[in-house]
Amino acid sequence: MSDMPESVVIREVGPRDGLQNEDPIPTEAKVRLLDALSGTGVRRIEAVSFVHPKAIPQMADADEVWRRAAKVDGVRYSALVPNTRGAQRALAAGFTEIEVVVSASDTHNRRNVNRSTDESLDDIAALIDLLHSAGATAEVIVATSFGCPYEGDVDPARVAAIVDRVVADGADRVAFGDTTGMGTPRRVRELLTAVRDRNAQVPVLLHFHNTRGTALANLLTALELGVTEFDASVGGLGGCPYAPGASGNLATEEAVHMLHDMGIDTGIDLAALLDAAALAERLVGRQLPSGVLRAGPRDRLTPRSA
């Protein structure tokens, strides 16, 4: 355990990645969830995405949600954009940290955006320039980094080559998405090794799904390899609508619960986070797949008289 980081940054993605993959909820409810999360002590929040409202009606009110949400000091908020139009909207809304996505799997990328991975990388190069010229940073999220539901294994060397490309094009950070929960400790180790052999300095963030139960084992492996930034989604909100069989973003409270028990700081008040998870559950109206929300943290005791 001596090699573990003392502190990690959790990026809470429930308001965007989570809600984008649930049935639409009212604007007011989105603002409430964002504000609840902003009060937990979390250091980063992916707040909204600026996508076409016909493609993703869940985010049609992104401008209004963001305008009404509290902007809390010390929280870094970000937005995800699919293209130039989205980038312009995000910049106009005041975002200075912006994410774009490409899939490491050509098949998966084509099914999402009807373009090859290479074509999307060309688009992203132009987007990075646009964002930088407006004073914003650009994070490239590489989806299906640990496997593709259509193609199967994704060669870590292919992902590393994508990192080469986007770093050369100016990406400020890279995130690796386990889009359909195909990640395992072995795959995490292989991917990080392949990427670092070539781009040791690029900041990386990992985004795990718990589809096959491996999310916290993957996180543990990444911690051992020195990764200190992770996505997680309050209550386990969301999944991926384009990925058959996908389910379950890693629940933020499950990640925080384990990290805190290991003595790793996140800045997050777990009790406040559990309140936010309970709120998320009420807002979407279905039971969320979060064990810590169900059972409580390990230090919540049962009365002996029970």
The set of catalytic residues is 240
By the 8 A CB rule, do 80 and 49 touch? yes
Instruction: Report CA 292 to chain centroid distance, whole Å.
Output: 19
Residues 260-299 that bind a second copy (CB under 8 A): 261-263, 290-292, 294-299
Chain residues 162-191 in contact with a second copy, contact rule CB under 8 A: 180-182, 184-187, 189
- Whether the CB-CB separation of 180 and 147 falls below 8 Å is answered with yes
Of 233, 231, 232, 208, which Cα lies nearest the Cα of 218?
Answer: 208
Q: Which is nearer to a second copy, 61 or 231 (CB)?
A: 231
Contact region with a second copy (CB under 8 A), list: 21-29, 84-92, 199-207, 243-251: 243-251
Among 211, 233, 249, 266, binds a second copy (CB under 8 A): 211
Q: How far is the CB of 143 from a second copy (least distance, A)?
A: 15
- The single residue among 134, 216, 225, 278 that binds a second copy, judged by CB under 8 A, is 216
Kindly provide the b/e burial profile for residues 267-304, where b requires at least 16 CB atoms within 10 angstroms of the residue's own CB. Answer: bbebeebbebbbbbbebbeeebbbebbeeebeeeeeee
How big is the site for a second copy, counted in residues (CB under 8 A)?
A: 52
For residue 282, the minimal CB distance to a second copy (Å) is 20
Instruction: Kindly state whether residue 212 participates in binding a second copy, applying the rule CB under 8 A.
Output: yes
Q: Quick one: which segment of 50-58, 128-136, 150-158, 167-175 binds a second copy (CB under 8 A)?
A: 150-158
| Nearer CB in complex with a second copy: 40/221 | 221
Q: How far is the CB of 176 from a second copy (least distance, A)?
A: 16
By the rule CB under 8 A, 5 interacts with a second copy: no
We find the least distance from the C-beta atom of residue 184 to a second copy, in angstroms, to be 4
From the list 10-18, 64-72, 113-121, 211-219, the region that binds a second copy by CB under 8 A is 211-219
Residues that bind a second copy (CB under 8 A): 1, 107, 147, 149-153, 180-182, 184-187, 189, 210-217, 219-221, 244-248, 251, 254, 257-258, 261-263, 290-292, 294-299, 301-302, 304, 306
